[in-house]
Amino acid sequence: MDRQTRWVLVTGASTGIGRATAEYLAANGFDVYAGARKPEDLAALGSLHRVVPLRLDVQRDSDVQAALEEVSKAGTGLFGIVNNAGIVKAGPLMDVPVEDMIEQFDVNVIGIHRVTRAFLPLVVAAKGRVVMMSSDSGFFATPIFGPYCASKFAVEGYADSLRREMNVLGVKVAIIEPGRIATPIWNKGEALLAREISSPLAPLAKKVGRHAIDGGNKKGIPPVEVAKAVHHALASDRPKERYIVADNKMEYKLLRVLPTRTVDSLVAKEMRKIEKE
């Protein structure tokens, strides 16, 4: 990769996985366009070596177009896109407002399409890479997190289709599947816990939410581990199609092959355990 082809766009780079990825890539051979929304986050990103901040809200077509024009005007080309921006909506599906589901998909799925569709011609010209930030929730759907799981399952399907299309054009597409990662996203879940819900699942939903937040804060692995996987997906001559970033990789592999009824039984057992906590 020469200087014209090692620029990478990272969306959602203000905190957590996105910020760690921007920093790690910039420290390991890449120049980074770091997308964020808030002025203070853009200023912080601008202080990093080899990082150029871009105002980029993946829900706004105007932001995506302006960011594309800025990159095109700079004349750097673009080797890679790291579609990291995402949000979490949760709750029993019978309680989730339609507006929440729409926003969940608009950020996590349609946002990916807005960015990818706009910047892909530059990546194709560089015969570069597209990296999708999925989740363990993209192949293992958990109760109470239906909106988020559904969006990540959609990301996996989008990425698989894109990879098979891009093979023809010499562009590689990789999916990153993080498990519990220690990021500020867990603290944002407090607002979801505080929301009033009225279904029979409300007591269990509160306990599952609390269990997830506590587990993420106490047992989450550092986001730099995800950044390392992203770097491999961008830099390796033979990147993997999927990267699981978690301590319990074997458990995840089993979940992909066990009969659905068996997995449902295991989930029900875990729910009963949480209910008693």
CA distances from 4 to 14, 67, 71, 75, 219 (A): 25, 18, 12, 8, 40
The CA distance from 30 to 204, in Å, is 45
Which of 24, 148, 158, 243 is the catalytic position?
A: 148
Contacts of 252 (CB under 8 A, 6+ apart): 136, 139, 140, 177, 179, 244, 246
Residue 148 among the catalytic residues: yes
The CA distance from 208 to 93, in Å, is 14
What is the set of active-site residues? Answer: 148
